Structure 1
């Protein structure tokens, strides 16, 4: 058995103050204690950042939150932190953010880190997303102009999942638009020996 690639052990923690109740994960038992500390710091920091973005200074904001593990294998951890803010008004607001981390080093990956320099991954992914928008007839607030270079994403099995926040490209009723892209469709531009190639087992 290759112990390097065993799933990371996760404990659920609770952040609770009046009007705020959030469940979030912490990792433990990693071979590299520095990486473990960095990963837990990034999770905790993002959890507080989301709550801060939801909290309204001029009204009472009730915030609840939880998390989902998307990938926990091959020394890679991909997860989302989601929180809902209820302001007593019309629509509550939800924010979902992802963290994608190398368990052996604690490095947090942005979308650009997955692809070769100069590969124009933004254009490539944008074209795939645009095709899925048309195919699925997703309602838009305005014409789709493409993803951001630091677009939200996570990884599930052999798929790169690109997603958008509420109101980012579509009306509230459409929820969070998610776009699943098989990694093999991007294989020619992914970093060799990088996270995506590791997830594909190549």
Structure 2
């Protein structure tokens, strides 16, 4: 019988300095302090990188976060940077995602989700193209190809591929997100994919 792993406890750390406001998650209360520290260090690193990207004179910066999955030993989250430079036409946003094993602290790259012999990039690229056509999403040129550096996060039901503002779609569209139901990707997964852990019953 599967023994479910409890969600990790998360608190919000807030820092405000001038026109920079930062809120980010911190994992607390884990039995394994080494894993807890490893996850928190990786989160802080992304937050600091985003701050450095945006902090310029006459620029207001806001960083927030969203938890997308937190169960069965898997934590997937988004860090969102929102910044506005004075006299710019509109604010800009940048999104980064992290997916961890809460058992080992490992941060999964996209390629680690899949069996390398499953042709997952080709199959997912085709899925993305079909999704964009079916949803009539406005694309600048060719639909995106899925690569080993693909940005993604996990929910309880899907692998969500996403692309930054202006990357393939007009600003007004927002972030291009392609949710891929788990049943689509199950045949492509590696043995240690966090999706297997997330979907265990």
Distance in 1, Cα, partners of 2:122 & 2:51: 32
Distance in 2, Cα, partners of 1:175 & 1:186: 25
Question: Bigger CA drift: 184-193 or 126-135?
Answer: 184-193
Alignment partner, residue 19 of structure 1: 19
Instruction: For residue 133 of structure 1, give the secondary structure of its aligned residue in structure 2.
Output: helix
Query: Mind listing any 5+ residue stretches in structure 1 that lack a counterpart?
Result: none
Distance in 2, Cα, partners of 1:14 & 1:145: 36
> Is the contact made by 1:31 and 1:104 (CA closer than 8 Å) also made in structure 2?
no
* Shift in alpha-carbon separation, 1:153–1:145, aligned structure 2, 3 A: closer
Is residue 101 of structure 2 the alignment partner of residue 102 of structure 1? yes
Q: Residues 79-125 of structure 1: CA distance to partner in whole angstroms, max 9, x if unpaired?
A: 00111101021121101111100011110001100001232221111
**Root mean square deviation, CA, Å:** 1.7
Alignment partner, residue 156 of structure 2: 157
Q: How many residues align?
A: 200
Runs of 4+ aligned residues of structure 1 deviating over 6 Å after TM superposition are none
Instruction: For residue 188 of structure 2, give the secondary structure of its aligned residue in structure 1.
Output: coil
> Is the contact made by 1:70 and 1:154 (CA closer than 8 Å) also made in structure 2?
yes
Deviation at 1:63, TM superposition (A): 0.3
Alignment partner, residue 77 of structure 1: 75
Matching of residues 132-171 of structure 1 within 5 Å:
132-171=131-170
> Is the contact made by 2:144 and 2:168 (CA closer than 8 Å) also made in structure 1?
no
Deviation at 1:3, TM superposition (A): 7.5
